[in-house]
Amino acid sequence: MDDSKLLEGKVALITGASRGIGAGIAAYFATRGAKIALVARTLEPQPGMSGSLQETAETIRESGGDCLCIRANLADPTDRARIIPAVIDHFGRLDILVNNAAWCRFIPIWQVTPKHWHLAFEMNVIAPQTLSQQAVEHMKTQGAGWILNISSATSDMPPSAPYDSDSRAVQFNRDGHPTLYGTTKAALERLSAGWAVELSPDNIAINSLAPVGVVLSEGAMALNNYSDDDHVESVATMAEAALQLCSKPPTLCSGLNARSIPLLESLGIPIP
C-alpha cells in the first residue's frame, strides 16, 4: 500500500521535537502529509547543544511540509495549558498527539531526591496525562483521534534472584540505575492502556511505543548509559512504528504497549 500521503489533512502535535526520536517522528509524519506542531524548550540552536525546534522546522519546510513551533517547558503546568489552544488556533484541528518529551536521569535509587522524583513524574506521566485530557475533547468532536505515548524498555521488570552476574539485564538494572526512569515509563504504559479501554467507544486510539533497545539520539549519547552489547536501532525505526500506530483504525489498533521492531515485523513492514 502507498502510504506517502497516509496522514494527508491531519494535524500532529509532537512533544520533545527539537532532537532525537521526537524530531525524527515529526519530520517523518510531515513527509506523509501531516501538518506538524513542534513542542520543546529549545527554540533556537544553542552553542554546545545539538538540536532545536527551528532546526526540525527547517527540515520539515525544506521537504515542503507545514509546521508550527511552540516553545514550552512541559514540567510547567502554565506552559502545558497553552499548547493545545495554540495548535487549534493555528491549524483549526488536532488529530494526533505524540507524547515524546521525557526527563531522564540514571541515578542510584537510594540517591533519588524529591526534586528528581517530582521532575520524572511531572514530565513522564503528568504531562502526557494533561495534554491527552486537553487533546481528547477536540478528537471527540472530530470523531477520531490518535494518542501515542513514547515509553522505554526500562519499564520491563528486572530479573529476580538468584542473579546471574553475566546477564546483561542484571548488569544494566544493577549498575545502570534505570529504576526511577523505568518506574515512570511503567506508569505511562499502564496509563495508556487505561485510556485506551475507557475511550474505546469514542474512536480514539491510545497506544504506547518503546524501542527494543538503544536509539542513539542526542540524549542517549549524552547520557552514555549503554554498551556495545546493547541492541541499537535507528530513529527511523521508531518513526515508522509510530506512523503505524497513529494511522490504523482505532477500533483495530488501540491499547498496545508495543515495541518497535516486533510491531513492524508483525505488520510485515521492513525495518528501516
- For 15, 82, 233, 234, the CA distances from 59, given in Å and listed in that order, are 16, 25, 22, 18
Residue 4 Cα distances to 30, 33, 130, 205, angstroms: 10, 7, 32, 21
Peptide bond into 272 cis (omega under 30): no
Could you give the CA distance from residue 177 to residue 174 in angstroms, rounded to a whole number?
6
Active site residue 28: no
Name residues whose C-beta falls within 8 Å of residue 60's C-beta, 6 or more positions apart in sequence. Answer: 26, 27, 30, 36, 66, 67
Q: For residues 196 and 205, is the Cβ–Cβ distance under 8 A?
A: yes
Catalytic-role residue among 28, 163, 181, 226? 181
Q: Which residues contact 43 (CB under 8 A, 6 or more apart)?
A: 52, 53, 54, 69, 71
Q: How far is CA 192 from the centre of its chain?
A: 12
The residues, ordered by sequence, that sit 6+ positions from 93 with a Cβ below 8 Å of its Cβ are 11, 138, 142
**Cell numbers representing residue 1 in the block:** 500500500
Phi first, then psi: give them for residue 227, nearest 5 degrees: -135, 175
Matching residue, cell 517547558: 73
CA–CA distance, 228 with 176 (Å, rounded to integer): 14
**Annotated catalytic sites, by residue?**
181
